[in-house]
Amino acid sequence: MKKYVLGLFLILSFYKLSAQEVKSNEFGSWHTVINKFTISEKFYAVNVSQLRMVDFVQDSRVFLLTPGLNYKLNNKISFGLGYVYLNYKPAGIRIPSLDYEDRIFQQVSLSSSYYNFKIGQRVRFEERFKTTLNNSSSYANRLRYRINFDFNLVRFTNGKHLLGKVSEELRIRFGSGLNKPDFDQNNFSALLGYKLFDNSSLYFGYGRDFYKRSNADYWGDHLLHIVLNYTIDFSKMKVIAGL
């Protein structure tokens, strides 16, 4: 269990921070499509497309696109790098101060299991290039740690299961370079899912996005999550000559 000490420490740190007074809550929904493309035994690509809405499903506030390439060292460790594009819209109680943002990230992912739980951990470092509404730009670094648990809840008569997923991610921002680390954001989600086909699944559930806007200003959003996962294994496809 030693390998989970860091994750538990960070999660407990979040609950201590969440005791801060939340000045405002919004209700929204995040609609996510996650595509995994298996290229070979060692390489796979992942693309995340996400639309974040406020006032439940009325207005879109953020569109996010995240393509990335990963190298699988073994069944437990993967390394990856990628790009993130975010486009912001002036919607909701908390109007975004940014027009758009470009990010580059590097990450390491760890996979393990404990009893009937599949456990995934990810450490990601981001370089963020932000452009505000008045067309000024800034640069910042951020560190993210995520731990998620996947498990089967109920077995149906067709042999499939009602799936469960619980995820917790802590984000640490830096003031300049790697100086002045500070709490930035925490994302929690508890989802129910169903395997549609062998290569796809659909999840929905509750999310809580908790973040620090200023030194004494904490906000929290209540979210509906809808997530579609879809995998394509190119490594098993045969190329027909002449086509």
User: What percentage of the chain exceeds 90 in pLDDT?
Assistant: 77
- Long-range Cβ contact pairs of 96-105 (< 8 A, separation 24 or more): 96/61, 96/62, 97/132, 97/133, 98/130, 98/131, 98/132, 98/133, 99/131, 99/132, 99/133, 99/135, 100/131, 101/128, 101/129, 101/130, 101/131, 102/128, 102/129, 103/127, 103/128, 103/129, 105/68, 105/81
206 part of a folded domain: yes
For residue 241, being part of any structural domain is answered with: no
Residue recorded with tokens 């509404």: 133
Residue 211 within a domain: yes
242 belongs to a structural domain: no
Tell me if 69 is assigned to some domain.
yes
Read off the CATH number of the domain in which 120 is found: 2.40.160
pLDDT score, position 20: 58
Cα(229)–Cα(33) distance, integer angstroms: 6
In a domain, 118, yes or no: yes
Question: What's the mean per-residue pLDDT of the chain?
Answer: 89
- Please give the DSSP secondary-structure letter assigned to residue 176: B
In this prediction, residue 4 carries a pLDDT of 47
| Beta pairing, strands 43-54 & 117-132 | unpaired
Closest residue by Cα to residue 203 from 231, 232, 228:
228
Number of structural domains found in the chain:
1
Is 243 within a domain?
Answer: no
Domain of 196?
Answer: 2-236
Q: Which of 238, 235, 225, 243 is nearest to 34 (CA)?
A: 225
Instruction: State pLDDT tens for residues 113-155.
Output: 999 999 999 999 999 999 999 999 999 999 999 999 999 999 9
pLDDT at position 5 is 45
**In-domain check, residue 42:** yes
Residues of the chain above pLDDT 70, percent:
88
- Helix ranges, the chain (H): 5-17
pLDDT tens per residue across span 196-236: 999 999 999 999 999 887 777 788 899 999 999 999 999 87
Q: With 50 as the cut, is the pLDDT of residue 75 above it?
A: yes
Is 90 a residue whose pLDDT tops 60?
A: yes
